[in-house]
Structures are given as C-alpha cells and as structure tokens.
Amino acid sequence: MIRVYNTMSGEKEDFIPLVSKKVGMYVCGITAYDVCHLGHARSAIVFDIIKRYLRNRGFTVTHVRNITDIDDKIIARANKEGVSTEEIAKKYTEEYYRDMERLGVSRADIEPNATDHIKEMIETVQGLIDKGYAYNIEGDIYFEISKFPDYGKLSNRNMEGLMAGARVDVDARKRSPLDFALWKSSKEGEPWWESPWGKGRPGWHIECTAMSNKYLGESFDIHGGGADLIFPHHENELAQSEAYSGKTFVKYWIHNGFITVDKEKMSKSLGNFFTIKEILDRYDPEVVRCFLLSTHYRNPIEFSDKQLNEAEVSIDRYYSTVLRVGDFLETAGGKEKAEGLEEFENTLSLFTGKFRGAMDDDFNSALALGHIFELLKELNRFLDSKPSGSKAKEIVTKAQGLLAEAGSVLNIFQRKPEEWYRSLIKVKKISLTEEGLLKKISERQDLRSKKDWASADRVRNELQSEGIILEDKQDGTRWKVQVG
RNA sequence: GGCGACGUACCCAAGUGGCUAAGGGGGAGGUCUGCAAAACCUUUAUGCAGCGGUUCGAAUCCGCUCGUCGCCUCCA
C-alpha cells in the first residue's frame, strides 16, 4: 500500500485513487515570464518521480501540467521589453521545455495553456456568479469567500487570522478584502478577451479550476505543486472548484519543500537563485536529479556545490561498478567459483521489496537511494571475491539489472558508462579529446612495460592535473574523469 | 501578531514507540597494487537542541524553553 502525506489532513494516508488503478494528477507548472531556477526543477522532478513510481506500480496516470501564459508579471515583462505578452510567454515556455528536457523530466500527458481555455474559464466564472458565489464590480468578478464556509481548510487558516495579517490588499469596492479576482477587466493597453462582463482577462486561479475540470473531471486524485502555492493559490482554487461543482475537488494534495540558500528560500524576489541553465552548465543532469532526490521531497534542501559534488561521486560509483561488471562478464572464466553466492542471492531477493517499501512510504527517495547504495556495495563486494563461472555471471547480471530497474524509477543509471564520462568531460570543460587521451595511455603503457615507472607516473600525473584519472588493470588501463 | 515546519555524528541525510540509530561524503587504520586509482574491510553518535512528563520501553508521543526557517503579498 502506498502512503502519501496529504496537505489537507496533515497526515500520511493510504493512497486509494477514486477509480481503481487510475490516477488523475494535476501539477501547477510555471508562469512563463522568466527563466526557471533550481526551485522549479525540484518541483518538476519530484512530481515526475511520483508519476514514474505510480506507473511502475501499475497505475495508469493521467498527468496534467499547465502553463500560465497570461498574468500580471507577463504583462509587466512585455511592457518592459516592448513586445507582446504572447512573445514573452512563447519565449519562456520554450525555455522551460528545453530546461525540463535537459533535466530528464518527462512530458506531461496534457500541457494546457491558459489562453487556450478562455472559453472554459468564462463558463466557470459565469457558473459561480449564477450560484451566488461571485459578484461583478465594473467588469471585475470577485469570489466571495464568506459564501464558502470551508474557506481556509487546506492552508489551515481562518478569516480572522487572515484579516489580522493586514497584508491583504485593500480594495474598498470588494465586499471583503479577502475576496479574490476570478476575472479582471482589462486596462488600457492590456491584452483582453471578450466576456459577458466586458473586455478582460482571467484571474490567476481560475485557469487551474477550468482546465483540471476539463481534463480530469470535477474530482481527481492528486494536485501538486510547491509549498508556496498552498496559500493563496490552491486555497482559492479549491474554493472556486468546490463552490462550482459541489464536490470534493482533490483527494490528495501534495506539496514539495523549497530549495534554500544560506537557509533562506531560493526565490526570484530575494535574488538568491541559480537558474537551471547555470547548474546544468556545471553538473550532469543525473547529478542534479540525484542531489534533489537525496532529501525527502517535503523537506527543505540547502543548495550547495559540496552536496552536488557528492551526488556526482554517487552516480560515478554506479557507472564505475557497471564498468567492473562489464570486465567481469568478459573475462571471468568458466570454472564455477562463487563464495558467498547464497548470501548475495538473498540480498538481491530482498532488494525490490526494500526499494518499494521506501517509495511506498510517501515517496521516500532518500531512503530508496540508501538501499540502492547498499546493493551497490554488496555487488562490489561479491566481485571482490573474484568469482567465476556461469552461476556467478548470472547473478551479477541480475544485480545490475535490479539497480538499473530501480534507477529507472528515479530516472538515474539509464546510460552507458561511456556516455557518463563523455558528459563529464563536457561539464568539467576538459580540453583533452578521447583520441589524445588514448594516445597518452598507450605511450604510458610502453613505459610501463619497460618498467620506467617514473615516466609512466609523470604521464599519469599530467592527466590527473587535467581531471583525468587512470586506473591500471591487469589487461590494460582505463580512464575516468575525476569526480567530486 | 496568526498558522506551520524543522533541530539526528565533522558535513549531508533516513528513521516518528520496541532487534546493535539506514545510506553517502570526509577522517583514521588495513587488504589489493610497481606505485597509484577504484573496490572492499575495520573504525568514526550508549546517543538524536535542552529540560520535564506519559510508557515495561521514546530520537519517535505530550508540555515547556532555546534556535532556525516557511506561509500570511507574486513565488516551485
């Protein structure tokens, strides 16, 4: 049984979708007004892994991820740059998809834009007016939260507390300062759509109500996003959705924690952010994923190069082991010898259960990674015992398969070691070519065969200063990229 | 001011009532090696911010104190 922490109840609950084995999942994407930073990456990766795991466990998942392409910030940016809001939205949407692709985040099944759903939003707003939940003031439509007694149930707030916060905007025309806009009349020079209330544009929250309703229905299983969306975005979305449909909007609310820098939330406004592009210029995408998954998704993660480097070492451990396994399968003799075979077989038989146990418990990828590294160690230990024969080959192959399968859920360990090292050469900006490298290695091999250790060591040291590590094996020398 | 989260070794990080407190990094010692590297082995928290309490039993539940952070305005 999968257990998920539900923001609504504040507890872990058994995960039972509304329709057996089918999951509807809506995750808030981005507002396309600027490039994405690592915080956006975390949210995207977390929900990508949740989706992959649910599919791995046999659920059919319909994943919807929206793009907000009309909004105050986009308008501001367009005005600043003297271009249309469409151009701004298009540019940053493209950047977003490029970043996500490089990060290895899979595409959602449905990726709706707000501006393609104006009609649905108008219908939703009209429905809310008809039901008495919304009112019109000079073309601005507001949701009246006093008509929705459950308001605040997601973020655990009440009206008094919110009023006391004194940070809500004061618009004398609104019946309550807490009422929020469903539809905004357009000011001079702003983009607009025709509506029953005049020219205007949608409010921030209404797109998610209209689009989730269209693609997943009035009630669905998972709604996700960063923890900063809980209030006001998801609270407002929930209010309008349930007021409109009269049904429970979402069964499980899932929110990921923040990335911090010096303990403070990484954010645009604080300016303490690293863009995805900047990070991918210095680290392999798999390293970024491993780094982000090594902490439980609800906890904050402190950004640090040290931690990213450690993640790099971890990934390298896997690919180094794959190389070892390759050597073993090629060179191991036919004589049946396998010390500790039974013990190793036993370890393997327990692995999948442990991995699932971790992921079942609110998608605990950090614990799952722990089990993966444990198995990696056991595999290396078995190889250290110098086994040989078909039985040993079989079990080593099986072990590697288990690691790759678990890795596929976390979207790590899916490449060949050569691809990993090529990527590292790029990311670490090593100027040597593979050809030049092989030439040096062969020269050094001659020196070694002449037992000219001093010269051979000099070559090795030269390469090391360029970030290349040489490993002498019985049948030759292997190069790797220095990690960490 | 209101609401909430967190504080586990040198660093990162799982664990939320019961075997010896996962895993990774780093340190120390060792095996292997021409020397290295990699890998493996041993070691590195009688203790989980502090103080009380509940319990046969608590890092884990409850209370208080200290510290850090988040949301209450756009925010992944």
Nucleotide nearest to A259 (CA to C1'): B76
Residue A166 scores a pLDDT above 80: no
**Å: A301 CA to B66 C1':** 23
Report which of residues 310-329 in chain A place their beta carbon less than 7 angstroms from any atom of strand B. Answer: 310, 313-314, 317, 320-321, 324
Domain boundaries, chain A: 18-282, 300-420, 430-481
Please check whether the two domains, A18-282 and A300-420, share a CATH topology. Answer: no
For A350-360, what is the mean pLDDT? 96
Average pLDDT, chain A: 95
Model pLDDT for residues A263-314, shown as the tens digit of each residue: 999 999 899 999 999 999 999 999 999 999 999 999 999 999 999 999 999 9
Range of weakest confidence among A92-96, A100-104, A177-181: A177-181
User: Is strand B less than 7 A from the beta carbon of A448?
Assistant: yes
pLDDT of A262 strictly over 70: yes
Interatomic distance A181 CA / B70 C1' (Å): 25
Determine the Cα–Cα distance for residues A29 and A65; give it in Å rounded to an integer. Answer: 5
A164 touches strand B (CB under 7 A): yes
Residue A371 confidence (pLDDT) above 90: yes
For strand B, list residues 273-302 of chain A whose Cβ lies within 7 Å of it.
Answer: 294-296, 299-302
User: Could you give the CA distance from residue A313 to residue A265 in angstroms, rounded to a whole number?
Assistant: 26
pLDDT, residue A158, reads 86
Q: Which of residues 173-212 of A touch strand B (CB under 7 A)?
A: 204
User: Residue A163: which pLDDT band, with cuts at 50, 70 and 90?
Assistant: confident
Q: Where are the beta strands (DSSP E) in A428-474?
A: 468-473
Mean pLDDT of A101-121: 97
Average pLDDT of A150-154? 95
Pick the CATH number of A300-420 from 3.50.50.60, 3.40.630.10, 1.20.120.640, 1.10.760.10: 1.20.120.640
What pLDDT is recorded for position A474?
87
Nucleotides of B under 7 A from a protein CB: 1-6, 11-15, 22-26, 33-41, 68-76
Distance A128 CA to B6 C1' (A): 40
Please state whether strand B lies within 7 Å of residue A74 at its CB atom: no
Closest nucleotide to the alpha carbon of A72, via C1': B74
Read off the pLDDT of residues A422-464 as tens digits, 9 standing for 90 and up.
Answer: 999 999 999 999 999 999 999 999 999 999 999 999 999 999 9
Residue A334: pLDDT band (50, 70, 90) is: confident
**In the prediction, which pLDDT does A329 show?**
95
- φ, ψ for residue A406, nearest 5 deg: -60, -40
Which superfamily does CATH assign the domain made up of A18-282 to?
A: HUPs (3.40.50.620)
Q: Which 414-443 positions of A have CB less than 7 A from strand B?
A: none
| Mean pLDDT in residue range A113-126 | 98
Query: What local confidence, expressed as pLDDT, does residue A161 receive?
Result: 80
Say how far A272 CA is from B76 C1', in Å: 14
Under the banding of pLDDT at 50, 70 and 90, the label for residue A23 is: very high
Mean pLDDT across A19-43: 97
Which chain A residues 77-136 have CB under 7 A to strand B?
none
- pLDDT for residue A97 is more than 80: yes
pLDDT at A129 over 70: yes
pLDDT at A4 over 70: yes
A251 in contact with nucleic chain B (CB within 7 A):
no
Burial A203-232 (b: 16+ CB within 10 A, else e): bbbbbbbbbbbebbeebbbbbbbbbbbbeb
Percent of all residues in chain A with a pLDDT value above 70, rounded to a whole number: 99
| Distance B75 C1' – A392 CA (angstroms) | 54
Question: Is residue A169 very low, low, confident or very high in pLDDT (cuts 50, 70, 90)?
Answer: low
What gap in Å lies between CA A39 and CA A256, rounded to an integer? 10
SS (H, E, C) A157-202: CCHHHHHHHCCCCCCCCCCCCCCEEEEEECCCCCCCECCCCCCEEE
pLDDT category, A168, cuts 50, 70, 90? Answer: low
- Is the distance between the Cβ of A447 and the closest atom of strand B smaller than 7 Å? no
Determine whether the distance from the CB of A268 to the nearest atom of strand B is below 7 Å.
yes
Look at A57-71, A176-190, A240-254 and tell me which has the smallest mean pLDDT.
Answer: A176-190
A301-305 LR contacts (CB < 8 Å, sep 24+): A301/A42, A301/A257, A301/A258, A301/A259, A301/A260, A302/A259, A302/A260, A302/A261, A302/A263, A303/A38, A303/A259, A303/A260, A303/A261, A303/A266, A303/A274
If you average pLDDT over residues A354-377, what whole number do you get?
Answer: 97
